A and B are shown apart, each in its own frame.
Chain A
Amino acid sequence: MKKETAKTLRAFLIELVIYAVLVVGYFFLVLHFLGEWLHHLETRHRYTYGGVAILLIIGQAVVLENVTTLLLRLLRGRSE
């Protein structure tokens, strides 16, 4: 039981590090490329901005859920 917990914890920590690197890269991409455009939409086209905001957050949720699931599967598979 303890061995399994240690394995899970190690897999989780590795996942956290890989995830953090991916997320930092993503921050710069999103904020650099989308920041100005979203700001423009927010000030000029509020209805479009509302729709784009929902699509962006749902899209990011689906992508990140898949990334974390994949990472977890890869790391669990390797540690077993």
Chain B
Amino acid sequence: MFFPISGAHISPIYLAVIGFFIGILGGFFGVGGSFIAGPALRAVGLDWNFAVGTDLAHIVGKSVVAAKRHRALGNVDLKLGLIMAFGTIGGAEVGAQLIQMLKRAGNVNLVVSVVSIAVYLSISTFMIWESRKTLSQTRLPSGTVKGAKAKHDPSAFKHVTSGIQRLRIPPMITLPASGVTISLWIILLVAFVGGLFSGFLGGGAGYIRMPSMVYVLGIPTHLAVGTDLFEIIISASYGTFSHAIKGNVDILIALVMHTGAALGAQIGAISTQYFAGPKIRLAFVPLPLIGAVIVIYTLMTGHKL
């Protein structure tokens, strides 16, 4: 099928199937899935700039579906999501400026690649350590569990999270939906760092924000997934508009991709009810690793996936 905006010929079935799989990941883990969508769009000949912008547009739609479903399951903290959106947008702008500075210095590719590999590997290593330790220390119900039991969310890192929550830097914000009271500045800092990586490394940076919400802010995993998706709607919409006015969005491709993603996101979101927090975190571990492998491949071969 011919898409006149980007001038690309792509099978709509391919787009819907890719969208479906990324939708499942997004609904289950609260991530945008750019590390798969970007290479998948590039693989069928879409220019890199269109792959980035179009992926962001499709992320908006997928996040609407998944966040709506998570909201019905009681997994969205609207207040937290709205506050985080400000920090994320600010961070994304600073990240984009950093990229421009590195471009002028002439070593953007190497710096971004090394930073991203270090970040991805650190997240995976930490999460595998924490979730395995938590699972070995806690008795979780065996087999599949549904509802409140599945939301039981112990963490081996809880003592550090509690210490962060005790930092009384006014104004303090109470988040009744998450059962947390924490300084506004810490929330903004977490969102800013997520946005910074989003602007610096590309994509939605859910691989950083979702774990940060759990380990730094102390948000239960299910709520972190749902709230991250809600927050992504706002920040990805901003990113989509910004890319669209630069001519980097083929909305027709995003709409076709989203037909598969809408179904996948629902399945992913519903599936979270059957898993306890530490199990979701353990299953999350391969995602940043896939990101790291893609960057290492790009560094070694010179082909940008």
Interface positions of A (Cβ within 8 A of B): 16, 19, 23, 26-27, 30-31, 34-36, 38-39, 42, 46-47, 49-54, 56-58, 60-62, 64-65, 68-69, 72
Cβ of B12: which chain A residues have Cβ within 8 Å of it? 27
Q: Which residue of B lies closest to A46 (CB)?
A: B245
Cβ of A60: which chain B residues have Cβ within 8 Å of it? 61, 255, 258-259, 262
Q: Which residue of A lies closest to B64 (CB)?
A: A61
Contact call A64/B60, Cβ cutoff below 8 A: no
Contact call A68/B251, Cβ cutoff below 8 A: no
Distance A35 CA – B5 CA, assembled complex (angstroms): 8
Distance A16 CA – B263 CA, assembled complex (angstroms): 9
Interface positions of B (Cβ within 8 A of A): 1, 4-5, 12, 16, 57-58, 60-62, 64-65, 68-69, 233, 237, 240-242, 244-247, 249, 251-252, 254-256, 258-259, 262-263, 266
Q: Which residue of A lies closest to B246 (CB)?
A: A46
Cβ of B254: which chain A residues have Cβ within 8 Å of it? 53, 57
Contact call B259/A26, Cβ cutoff below 8 A: yes
Contact call A53/B262, Cβ cutoff below 8 A: no
Contacting B69 at CB < 8 Å: which of A27, A34, A57, A65?
A: A65
Contacting A53 at CB < 8 Å: which of B57, B64, B256, B259?
A: B57
Distance A65 CA – B259 CA, assembled complex (angstroms): 10
A57 touching B255 in the complex, CB below 8 Å, given contacts A65-B64, A65-B65, A65-B266: yes
Contacting B262 at CB < 8 Å: which of A34, A38, A65?
A: A65
Given contacts A23-B16, A31-B252, A52-B251, 6 further A-B contacts (CB under 8 A): A27-B1, A38-B251, A53-B244, A54-B241, A58-B237, A61-B258
Cβ of B241: which chain A residues have Cβ within 8 Å of it? 50-51, 53-54
Cβ of B61: which chain A residues have Cβ within 8 Å of it? 57-58, 60-61
> Closest 8 CB pairs between A and B?
A50-B244, A61-B64, A64-B262, A61-B61, A53-B251, A57-B61, A50-B241, A39-B4
Cβ of A47: which chain B residues have Cβ within 8 Å of it? 245
Q: Which residue of A lies closest to B54 (CB)?
A: A53
Contact call A61/B62, Cβ cutoff below 8 A: yes
Cβ of B249: which chain A residues have Cβ within 8 Å of it? 49-50, 53
Contact call B258/A65, Cβ cutoff below 8 A: no
In the complex, how many angstroms separate the beta carbon of B66 from the nearest chain A beta carbon?
9
Cβ of B4: which chain A residues have Cβ within 8 Å of it? 35-36, 39
